[in-house]
């Protein structure tokens, strides 16, 4: 158990709970034919969440200060993949499914383990084309195809 | 006679070529999911929802729902089976429900009896599947008839009980489990209120009017969360893969394991029916029980076949038993069944007592297909065990980015907007950080799925009582549920105060 994380978490959940309580006050208080409006449920939940996070905060006081051997986390790879995933999500529509997926997989494979370019390119290409073909052509689903400027 | 009639009709549905195909794909992928260390049954099922949704796109809603749920349930119990393969061959449980199997399974593998251990696990899982199927068929109708008599107050209290049971047993800290449950319920209030039509917490963001999509949250929390964890912790499985060896078990081994299989199946089934318990606890209990009643308890842990047969039967039976509260009451008892329920709701099919009236085809088709799926698993796994063992060697290099790509594809295919993709990544980050700090994720998903129903029933009950909260305590059935719910939370709490160790369910 990490004392710091749990403290921050209890703060955040407390704020979230309070925010829901306060904001539920702005929702209409009555529903037609009922005196229990749409604000009641979120208000109660916000209250309970607030109380629980106070309880969690008090519990963190009792944690023993244990210094565990910190495992070396691979933040570099993680950040590269995370940024790549965010870019992938943002560029999916402008670039189209095939190109963005191909690029993301290329970056992803090479970040996890360098080398093996031929295999990397082959798997990325067959995944992005394969999924697009199966989904958009065979099953007639909606996926952004190639961008307009690319096909012309 | 009604049950037999419905069951036969269910087999009619399940034996349609498309449903046989779907069941086959389901158990095949499920076994692979169980074998692969990076993906658990929860993320496996969540990832496949969008895939099935697009596969069934052209069918009429009820048939599409039946086929999808057949596939998704196949993934669920297939994973229970696949998890045993890695436990036995690699000493690494693929799922938490197979942790106990490693104790004796790996020892057997070192003695060169891996093949028979795998075969016994398959046979045990099969028998357990049949036991839970019979239980499901027998209990489904009477239970749903009882549940039909419930009013909104009873329902509200029953769902409260379900939530209390799951959060009482999930994770090390009950406070954290409670926070996650309430947070899930809160998230479910975002969007248009379905009683009054008022927009809540949307702040004029159009994507929020429909509420946070359950699918996006589930895929993000479970699938992406696990992927992030794998990248950060450089999880590798370099252990030596034991040789599979002779597959057919000897007569002696069959005789030794028949008792544990029968007991494990029954115990597992009843543990599975209880909300919050689930497959992991079932496998633990059955192992402990076998050790207690065995004439040679000293053999346990050194490679006895009963130590594989009992927990593997129990975890499979539990996954069948868990279907009962889901189908008859509409209350999922675990994270995976919550995801199955979310999938049903996506198809506009509300699990619960009315399911057996309104959509008997879906309910009985699923029950029958679980039987067929179990037969398939047995046929598939006996000869193919060596092939599945190969899947373990899939390099993570390719696996991790492809899981991310499938998540993105799945969410986009169903939601068709960028907002959900960003939400997906945020949920993945949250999932990783929360899970690695002991905040259990299953209660959050459960809260998100049950939230709208709890709120509806609460408001209906309160409207009838003119806003008097005592209504939940005045009705005897509702009062009983609330009392049990409170006890469920309080008893472990008291036990903890007394310094006793409380069993928890890590699989959730």
pLDDT per residue rounded down to tens, chain B (508 residues): 577 888 888 888 888 888 899 999 999 888 888 887 667 788 888 888 888 887 777 777 778 888 898 999 899 888 878 878 877 887 777 677 778 888 888 888 888 888 888 888 888 888 988 888 888 888 888 888 888 888 889 989 988 888 888 777 766 788 898 999 999 999 999 988 877 778 888 888 888 888 888 889 988 998 898 889 888 887 655 556 666 666 677 788 888 888 889 999 999 898 888 876 677 888 888 888 888 888 888 888 888 888 888 988 998 888 888 888 888 888 887 778 888 888 888 888 888 888 888 888 888 888 888 888 888 888 877 777 777 777 777 777 788 898 899 889 888 888 888 999 999 999 999 999 998 888 888 889 888 988 888 988 898 888 888 878 888 888 888 999 999 888 888 887 787 777 655 555 544 3
Residue A18 lies in a domain: yes
Task: Write the DSSP string, B173-218.
Answer: -HHHHHHHHHHHHHHHTSEE-TTT--EES-TT-GGGTT-S-HHHHH
Residue A66 lies in a domain: no
Q: What is the rounded CA–CA span in Å between residue B64 and residue B54? A: 10
Q: What is the rounded CA–CA span in Å between residue B85 and residue B94? A: 8
Residue A67 lies in a domain: no
Strands B191-192 and B199-200: antiparallel
Q: What is the rounded CA–CA span in Å between residue B70 and residue B9? A: 15
Residue A107 lies in a domain: yes
What angle do the packed helices B442-464 and B152-169 form, to 10 degrees?
Answer: 160
Shared domain for A56 and A95, answered yes or no, is no
- Single out the residue in A28, A61, A94 at which a domain terminates: A61
Contact at CB, B186 and A38, closer than 8 angstroms: no
- Single out the residue in A12, A39, A61 at which a domain terminates: A61
pLDDT confidence of residue B393 = 73
**Tally of domains within chain A:** 2
Residue B338 lies in a domain: yes
Secondary structure letter of residue B170 according to DSSP: B
CA A45 to chain B, closest CA, distance in angstroms equals: 6
Shared domain for A29 and A81, answered yes or no, is no
Shared domain for A43 and A79, answered yes or no, is no
Q: What is the rounded CA–CA span in Å between residue B13 and residue A57? A: 53
A 69-98 residues inside an 8 A Cβ radius of B: 71, 73-75, 77-78, 81-82, 85-86, 88-90, 92-93, 97
Contact at CB, A5 and B189, closer than 8 angstroms: no
Contact at CB, B438 and A109, closer than 8 angstroms: no
Contact at CB, A104 and B467, closer than 8 angstroms: no
* Sequence-ordered strand ranges (E) for B324-419: none
Q: For B191, which residue in chain A has the nearest alpha carbon? A: A38
Mutation pick from B58, B182, B191, B224 vs chain A, by most beta carbons of A within 10 Å, is B182
Given a contact cutoff of 8 angstroms between Cβ atoms, the answer to whether B315 and B279 are in contact is: yes
pLDDT confidence of residue A89 = 93
Shared domain for A79 and A136, answered yes or no, is yes
Q: Which domain holds residue B414?
A: 2-497
pLDDT digits (tens, 9 = 90+) for B473-484: 888 889 999 998
Q: Look at residues B342, B64, B50 and name the one whose alpha carbon lies nearest to residue A142.
A: B50
Residue A143 lies in a domain: yes
B205 touches chain A (CB under 8 A): no
Shared domain for A24 and A55, answered yes or no, is yes
- Single out the residue in A61, A84, A104 at which a domain terminates: A61
What angle do the packed helices B174-188 and B476-497 form, to 10 degrees?
Answer: 140
Chain centroid to Cα B200, Å, comes to 31
Q: Which domain holds residue A91?
A: 75-151
Q: For A7, which residue in chain B has the nearest alpha carbon? A: B437
Residue A70 lies in a domain: no
Cβ count near A152 (within 10 Å): 6
Which chain B positions have a beta carbon within 8 Å of A112's beta carbon?
231, 396-397, 400-401
Q: Is residue A75 classed exposed, middle or buried when 0-12, 13-18 and 19+ CB atoms within 10 A define those classes?
A: exposed
pLDDT digits (tens, 9 = 90+) for A32-44: 666 677 888 899 9
A58 touches chain B (CB under 8 A): no
Q: For A21, which residue in chain B has the nearest alpha carbon? A: B186
Residue B95 lies in a domain: yes
Radius of gyration of chain B (CA): 22
Shared domain for A27 and A82, answered yes or no, is no
Residue B133 lies in a domain: yes
Contact at CB, B54 and A135, closer than 8 angstroms: yes
CA A16 to chain B, closest CA, distance in angstroms equals: 9
**Tally of domains within chain B:** 1
Q: For B178, which residue in chain A has the nearest alpha carbon? A: A52
What angle do the packed helices A3-24 and A40-61 form, to 10 degrees?
Answer: 160
Beta bridge partners of B170: B505
B439 touches chain A (CB under 8 A): yes
Shared domain for A55 and A88, answered yes or no, is no
A52 touches chain B (CB under 8 A): yes
Shared domain for A87 and A143, answered yes or no, is yes
Residue A43 lies in a domain: yes
Given a contact cutoff of 8 angstroms between Cβ atoms, the answer to whether B81 and B381 are in contact is: yes
Shared domain for A55 and A91, answered yes or no, is no
Spans of chain A below 70 pLDDT: 1, 30-35, 65-71, 148-152
Residue B504 lies in a domain: no
Shared domain for A147 and A95, answered yes or no, is yes
Residues in contact with B57: Cβ distance below 8 Å, sequence separation at least 6, in sequence order: A139, A140, A141, B64
Backbone angles phi, psi at B118, to 5 degrees: -65, -40
Beta bridge partners of B505: B170
């Amino acid at each position: 158990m990490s004392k710091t994380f749990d403290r921050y978490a209890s703060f955040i959940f407390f704020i979230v709970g309070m925010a829901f309580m306060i904001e539920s006050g702005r929702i209409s208080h009555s529903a037609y034919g009922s005196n229990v409006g749409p604000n009641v449920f979120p208000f109660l939940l916000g209250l309970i969440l607030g109380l629980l996070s106070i309880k969690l905060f008090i519990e963190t006081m009792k944690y023993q200060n244990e210094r565990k051997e910190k495992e070396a986390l691979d933040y570099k790879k993680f950040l590269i993949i995370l940024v790549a995933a965010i870019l992938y999500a943002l560029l999916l529509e402008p670039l189209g499914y095939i190109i963005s997926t191909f690029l993301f997989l290329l970056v992803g494979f090479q970040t996890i383990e360098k080398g093996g370019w031929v295999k990397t390119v082959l798997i990325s290409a067959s995944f992005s084309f394969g999924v697009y073909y199966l989904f958009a052509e065979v099953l007639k689903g909606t996926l952004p195809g190639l961008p307009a400027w690319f096909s012309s | 006679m009604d049950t037999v009639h419905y069951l036969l009709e269910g087999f009619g549905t399940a034996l349609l070529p498309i449903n046989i195909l779907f069941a086959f794909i389901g158990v095949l992928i499920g076994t692979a999911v169980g074998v692969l260390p990076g993906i658990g049954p929860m993320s496996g099922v969540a990832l496949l929802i969008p895939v099935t949704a697009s596969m069934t796109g052209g069918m009429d809603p009820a048939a599409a729902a039946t086929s999808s749920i057949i596939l998704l349930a196949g993934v669920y119990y297939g994973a229970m089976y696949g998890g045993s393969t890695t436990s036995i061959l690699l000493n690494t449980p693929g799922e938490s429900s197979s942790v106990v199997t490693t104790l004796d399974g790996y020892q057997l593998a070192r003695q060169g009896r891996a093949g028979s251990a795998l075969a016994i696990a398959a046979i045990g899982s099969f028998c357990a599947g049949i036991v839970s199927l019979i239980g499901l068929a027998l209990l489904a109708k009477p239970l749903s008839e009882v549940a039909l008599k419930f009013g909104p107050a009873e329902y509200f209290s029953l769902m409260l009980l379900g939530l209390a049971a799951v959060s009482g047993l999930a994770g090390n800290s009950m406070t954290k489990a409670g926070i996650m449950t309430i947070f899930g319920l809160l998230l479910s209030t975002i969007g248009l209120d379905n009683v009054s039509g008022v927009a809540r917490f949307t702040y004029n963001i159009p994507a929020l009017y429909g509420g946070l999509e359950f699918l996006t949250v589930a895929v993000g929390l479970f699938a992406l969360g696990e992927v992030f964890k794998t990248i950060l912790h450089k999880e590798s499985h370099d252990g030596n893969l034991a040789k599979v060896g002779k597959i057919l078990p000897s007569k002696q081994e069959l005789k030794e394991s028949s008792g544990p299989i029968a007991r494990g199946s029954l115990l597992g089934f009843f543990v599975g029916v209880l909300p919050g318990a689930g497959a992991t606890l079932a496998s633990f209990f059955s192992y402990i029980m076998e050790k207690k009643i065995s004439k040679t308890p000293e053999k346990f842990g050194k490679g006895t076949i009963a130590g594989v047969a009992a927990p593997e039967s129990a975890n499979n039976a539990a996954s069948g038993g868990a279907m009962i509260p889901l189908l008859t009451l509409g209350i999922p008892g675990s994270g995976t069944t919550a995801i199955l329920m979310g999938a049903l709701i996506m198809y506009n099919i509300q699990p619960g007592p009315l399911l057996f009236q309104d959509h008997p085809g879906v309910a009985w088709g699923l029950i029958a297909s679980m039987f067929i799926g179990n037969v398939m698993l047995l046929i598939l796994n006996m000869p193919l065990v060596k092939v599945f063992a190969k899947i373990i060697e899939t390099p993570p290099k390719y696996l991790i980015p492809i899981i991310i790509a499938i998540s993105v594809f799945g969410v986009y295919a169903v939601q068709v907007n960028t907002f959900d993709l960003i939400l997906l990544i945020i949920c993945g980050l949250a999932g990783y950080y929360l899970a690695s700090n002991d905040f259990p994720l299953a209660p959050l998903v459960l809260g998100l799925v049950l939230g709208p129903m709890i709120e509806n029933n609460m408001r209906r009950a309160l409207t009838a009582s003119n806003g008097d909260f005592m209504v939940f305590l005045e009705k005897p059935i509702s009062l009983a549920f609330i009392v049990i719910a409170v006890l469920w939370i309080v008893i472990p709490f008291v036990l903890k105060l007394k310094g006793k160790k409380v069993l928890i369910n890590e699989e959730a």
